[in-house]
Amino acid sequence: MNGKKVVVAMSGGVDSSTAAALLKDQGFEVIGMSMQLWDYSERGARDTAGSCCSLDDVYDARRVADTLDIPFYVVNMEEVFSREVVDYFVGSYLKGFTPNPCIKCNDVMKFDVLLRKSMEIGAGYLATGHYARIRREAGACRLLKADDAAKDQSYFLFTMTQDRLKRVLFPLGSLTKDEVRGCAKKFGLGVAEKRESQEICFVEDGHYSDLISTRAGARHASRPGDIVDRLGAPLGSHNGLFRYTIGQRRGLDIKDGQGPYYVVGMDLPANRLIVGKEDELLSRGLLANGVTWITDGPEDGEGVDVKIRYRHEPARAVISRRGNDVRVMFSTPQKSVTPGQAAVFYRGEEVLGGGWIERAIG
């Protein structure tokens, strides 16, 4: 174990590359690691630019490691990824949920498997290029939002625990994206101008339906059914519930001229897609399960801010805890509460914890 030895999870993007450079600059003994998560070879040479973890990106990461003159390793984690992330992703859609694979990937791939590997090779820390901060206080580590509110990624990190936070560094937490690009340029990293990764890395061109059909069987996944309103009146038909998410407007084949309609729910047993008008998207609250807290968590009945999807302006809410389930009641109704997404609880800039949305309330 060496407190000055840090493994940096390098994706080949500007953020993790700069994180590695900053740590090296501060005198750490830095080791780069890329995770090979998905086998692209069977698909031929598709352009995977714009997503993380493609072979091109591994190549970029290796180039950065060469520039920084640090050891670099690629670790094959395809098996775990397929089981823990891709299966979860497919399974969620088949349940009528909208999954968040990035949270799962952080939780399992980075801060479990890769963190363990880092410790196994004698590193004191694992660092990533996430925009979030860790405050290390006597007795507890606190996870905080990034200083750059536009880039804050703390939502994706709610599954962190004390054990993990102690061993993790987020070198970019206090920097803006522009500052990061500036650093990358200053350090002479070839990836300084590389564009952001936004796509889900294992989904081709945003067409997740192909993946789900392949994994689950097209007949099973694409079972056609009715589109109905809340009262059950038929308005049209759909070809597989997994193609829809709460709040979705586009892609609904409804020709009654009364639109626009939005997806407001799914009736899985009846294989029906429920649509409604915009105001029907509002909910007074939600139920979340699998909730974990980074420190002790808030008191029952305490007011917190809650974020129900990544790009959601946090809403005031009161929570009540029952084991790992939490009932959240908003101060003002919120739009498009989506089962499968995460509800993440904040007190000011601090992430208290979070869980998975089971269903909307009212």
Partner 1 sequence: MKRIYFDHNATTPVQAEVFEAMLPFLRDEWGNPSSIHWAGRAPRKAVEEARDKVCRFLNCSAAELIFTSSGSESDNLAIKGTAFAKKSKGNHIITTKVEHPAVLNTCKYLEREGFEVTYLGVDADGMLSLDELRAAIRPQTILITIMYVNNETGVIFPVDEIGKIAEVHAVTFHTDAVQAAGKLPLDVKLLRCDLLSISGHKLYAPKGVGALYVKKGARLIPLIHGGHHERNRRGGTENVSGIAGLGRACEIAARDMDKETERLGRLKHRLERGLMDRIPHVKLNGHSEKRIANTANLSFEFVEGESLLLNLDMIGIAASSGSACTSGSLEPSHVLVSMGLTPEISHGSVRFSLGRANTEEEVDYLIEKMPPIVERMRGMSPLWNEAEKKGALIDFEKKSC
Residues 187-206 that bind partner 1 (CB under 8 A): 187
53 belongs to the catalytic site = no
Alpha carbon distance 262, 257 (integer Å): 14
Residues 128-157 that bind partner 1 (CB under 8 A): 133-136
Find the part of the chain contacting partner 1 (CB under 8 A) among 91-99, 168-176, 257-265, 323-331.
168-176
Alpha carbon distance 143, 125 (integer Å): 16
Residues 1-30 that bind partner 1 (CB under 8 A): 1-3, 18, 21-22, 25-26
Q: Binding of partner 1 at residue 82 (CB under 8 A)? A: no
Instruction: List CB contacts of 355: < 8 A, sequence separation 6 or more.
Output: 288, 289, 290, 291, 292, 324, 325, 326, 342, 343
- Pick from 27, 44, 45, 120 the residue near partner 1 by CB under 8 A: 120
Nearer to partner 1, 151 or 272 (CB): 151
Helix axes 14-25, 177-186, angle to 10 degrees: 60
Q: Binding of partner 1 at residue 266 (CB under 8 A)? A: no
- Pick from 47, 66, 87, 163 the residue near partner 1 by CB under 8 A: 163
In the set 102, 105, 141, 183, the catalytic residue is 105
Tokens of 264: 């407001």
201 belongs to the catalytic site = yes
Q: Which residue has the tokens 């809403």?
A: 315
CA 239 to chain centre: 27
- Pick from 13, 173, 340, 354 the residue near partner 1 by CB under 8 A: 173
Q: Which residue has the tokens 């094959």?
A: 76
Alpha carbon distance 358, 287 (integer Å): 6
Q: Binding of partner 1 at residue 114 (CB under 8 A)? A: no
Q: Binding of partner 1 at residue 36 (CB under 8 A)? A: yes
Q: Binding of partner 1 at residue 179 (CB under 8 A)? A: yes
List the beta strands (DSSP E) in the chain: 2-9, 29-36, 72-76, 123-127, 132-137, 140-145, 168-169, 224-228, 234-239, 262-267, 272-276, 282-293, 303-307, 315-322, 325-335, 342-347, 350-361
Q: x/- contact string, 219-248, with partner 1 (CB under 8 A)?
A: ------------------------------
Closest residue by Cα to residue 55 from 70, 69, 42: 42
Q: Which residues are catalytic?
A: 105, 201
Residues forming the site for partner 1 (CB under 8 A): 1-3, 18, 21-22, 25-26, 36, 55, 58, 62, 71, 73-76, 79, 116-117, 119-122, 124-125, 133-136, 163, 166-167, 169-171, 173-175, 179, 182-183, 186-187
